[in-house]
Amino acid sequence: MKKVLLGLALMAPALFVALAAEGPAIPLGLLPVRFPKDNPYTAEKAELGKLLYFDKRLSADGTVSCASCHSPKFAYTDGKAVSDGIKGQRGGRSAPTVINRAYSLAQFWDGRAKALEEQSIGPMANPIEMGNTHDAVVKTLKGVNGYKKLFAKVFGTEAFDINHVAMAIATFERTVLSGNSPYDRYKAGDKKQLSASAVRGMDVYFNKAKCDQCHEGINFTTNAYHNLGVGTDKPNPDDGRFAVTKNAADWGAFKTPTLRDIARTAPYMHDGSLKTLEEVVDYYDKGGLPNKNLDERMKKLNLTAQDKKDLVEFLKSLNGEGW
């Protein structure tokens, strides 16, 4: 085991260090979470981050928390096509799950945040989401004696700033993990974990439909960006990744989400336009929606009705535990 962990640490980017022995418990099927060198894991920091995550006082009017759009009730989404911010304002994208975000650097559908630390405080200053300022957030928290004591315990100072807030919330978010699914247990040798339909669906997934071209690895995603055609027929399509990179090749492209707990995070796609897994499978089966930048991997799959049913059953087997 020590050799395995050493190998993982050596493979990690220089920015990160593997902290499996000190970090959160890792469910079956996942790898140790790597924490930034400048924001190492401690249980106290994760607990502080959890308190902040659920605290509506971080928003301008005290009505919205991180959990308002990323709730455990909905597998760390909100069950809506697009999310509601302060004063009932609505954004244009569906809230992605926080589950297993520890296994990706860039965050948000368009990857505009370089890490969870940046992501965690972005919505606070977004006028549509939490409508606050970072200075106001810190001022509010410093007015709470309990928080001052916790920040002093975790970071050694009551003179904390928004960066400390970011580090605490990001640490908590890196503990929101999902593994030990029926699929993981099946792969570990317990062949009774998957139904005959799900086993057939696994074959469709990996061989006939080749879903793993984009949804691969332990977290069922390459963390890359692709144009699937979703929403490109609208009068004013979402630019997607292009808004960040200004690269024409990124127009209409969005980050490939994890498929972990996918059956619990409806509706689907960046705009929440597909309500069920059956609709998602049908969309891929027809090859997406043609547009000027459709990903070359988006082609008609010619799946049978049985293939589709089995594929959905396999996707349901990715519902896990740990969060």
Catalytic residues: 129
Q: Which residues contact 126 (CB under 8 A, 6 or more apart)?
A: 85
β-pairing verdict for 34-36 and 225-226: unpaired
Please give the Cα distance from 177 to 46 (Å, whole number).
13
Please give the Cα distance from 89 to 289 (Å, whole number).
29
**How far out from the chain centre does Cα 26 lie?**
17
Please give the Cα distance from 123 to 209 (Å, whole number).
36
3 state DSSP class of 252: coil
3 state DSSP class of 268: strand
Between the CA of residue 246 and those of 112, 240, 243, 252, what are the distances in Å? 12, 10, 6, 11
Residue 112, token pair as written in the block: 């505009």
Backbone angles phi, psi at 172, to 5 degrees: -60, -45
Contacts 24+ apart (CB under 8 A), 45-48: 45/154, 45/167, 45/168, 45/171, 45/172, 46/168, 46/171, 46/172, 46/174, 46/175, 47/172, 48/150, 48/151, 48/154, 48/168, 48/172
Q: Which residues contact 71 (CB under 8 A, 6 or more apart)?
A: 77, 78, 79
Is 213:188 a contact under the CB 8 Å cutoff?
no
* Residue in 75, 112, 98 with CA at minimum distance from that of residue 169: 98
**How far out from the chain centre does Cα 202 lie?**
23
